[in-house]
């Protein structure tokens, strides 16, 4: 049985839950009360000095970084549908996993952290910056999804679970991009059983 240090409003933690559920793997969630600062407690810092969820425990093995956890699970359980072995498809999956972390996430954080979680204390300039950048990012994502059902082709992969988790997060700020290809793709992602089960309570 795996253990996942988790918070329901962490898109990084939820994408791991989505794969665990999709693959029917057994796991226990260990809730980290981030609103109370538990992620900065000495006990949690001993588990992850980056003060972040998720953290994944497999026996003696402990790891952080959500996309690395997704790849680890795929490798360990032979989940080649979720992380295809054919090189061009795998490269496309990796491309979107990295794009999600390096390009999309900073703007998602600018918007959602400052608009939703920090409320009146939110940084208004960061929201403006995030919304401006999001226009460019949404155009890139929309163009990439033209004529394909999922990011790496006809089948859903961990790239869809990962990018989809950030799109859900944008929904908390009523900021899901409205571009038509993104809309259709996101409907498909929302239809994935594991993704549905990963979402926080409505
Ligand atoms: N690159 C990390 C990012 C994890 C992350 O940013 N987690 C957030 C919650 S969504 C967090 O724990 N933030 C608290 C902090 O950074 O202090 C991953 O992919 O796992």
Which atom of ligand 1 is nearest to 11's Cα?
A: 10
Q: What is the pLDDT of residue 41?
A: 98
Ligand 1 proximity of 10 Cβ (cutoff 6 Å):
yes
- State the distance from the centre of ligand 1 to the C-alpha of 66, rounded, in angstroms: 9
What confidence score (pLDDT) does residue 202 get? 81
CB of 92 within 6 A of ligand 1: the answer is no
To the nearest 10 degrees (0 to 180), the angle between helices 11-22 and 158-172 is 140
CA of 25 from ligand 1 middle (Å) equals 23
CA dihedral for 169, 45, 77, 144, sign (positive or negative): positive
pLDDT tens sequence across 111-149: 999 999 999 999 999 999 999 999 999 999 999 999 999
Residue 94 and residue 100 in contact, taking contact as beta carbons nearer than 8 Å: no
The reported pTM is 0.97
Residue pLDDT, tens place only, 51-77:
999 999 999 999 999 999 999 999 999
Give tens-digit pLDDT for 28-57.
999 999 999 999 999 999 999 999 999 999
Q: Indicate whether residue 48 lines ligand 1 (CB < 6 A).
A: no
Best of 12, 13, 17, 110 to mutate for ligand 1, by most ligand atoms within 8 A of CB? Answer: 12
Question: What totals of helices (H) and strands (E) does the chain contain, helices first?
Answer: 9, 4
Q: Are 196 and 190 in contact (CB under 8 A)?
A: yes
Q: Is the CB of 51 under 6 A from ligand 1?
A: yes
Tens of pLDDT, residue by residue over 171-181, are: 999 999 999 99
Please list, residue by residue across 131-146, b when 16 or more beta carbons sit within 10 angstroms of its beta carbon and e when fewer do.
eebbeebbeebbebbe
Q: Above 90 in pLDDT, residue 201?
A: no
Q: CB of 150 within 8 A of CB of 96? A: no
52 lines ligand 1 (CB under 6 A): yes
CA 113–ligand 1 middle distance (angstroms): 12
Check whether domain 2-77 has CATH 3.40.30.10, yes or no? yes
Nearest CA to ligand 1 atom 2: 65
pLDDT digits (tens, 9 = 90+) for 143-155: 999 999 999 999 9
Ramachandran quadrant class, 25 (left: phi over 0; alpha: psi -120 to 50; beta: rest): beta
CATH number for the domain formed by residue range(s) 87-197: 1.20.1050.10
List the chain domain ranges. 2-77, 87-197
């Amino acid at each position: 049985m795996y253990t996942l240090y988790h918070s329901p409003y962490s898109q990084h933690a939820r994408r791991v839950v989505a794969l665990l559920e999709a693959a029917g793997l057994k796991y226990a969630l260990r809730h980290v009360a981030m609103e109370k600062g538990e992620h900065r407690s000495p006990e949690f810092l001993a588990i992850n000095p980056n003060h972040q969820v998720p953290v994944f425990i497999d026996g003696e093995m402990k790891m952080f970084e959500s996309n690395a956890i997704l790849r680890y699970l795929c490798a360990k359980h032979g989940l080649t549908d979720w992380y295809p072995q054919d090189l061009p498809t795998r490269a496309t999956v990796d491309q979107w996993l990295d794009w999600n972390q390096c390009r999309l996430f900073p703007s998602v954080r600018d918007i959602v952290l400052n608009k939703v979680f920090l409320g009146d204390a939110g940084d208004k300039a960061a929201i403006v910056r995030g919304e401006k950048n999001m226009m460019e990012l949404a155009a890139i994502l929309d163009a990439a999804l033209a004529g394909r059902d999922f990011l790496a082709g006809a089948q859903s992969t961990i790239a869809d679970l990962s990018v989809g988790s950030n799109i859900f997060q944008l929904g908390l700020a009523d900021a899901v991009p409205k571009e038509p290809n993104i809309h259709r793709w996101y409907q498909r992602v929302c239809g994935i059983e594991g993704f549905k089960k990963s979402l926080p309570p409505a």
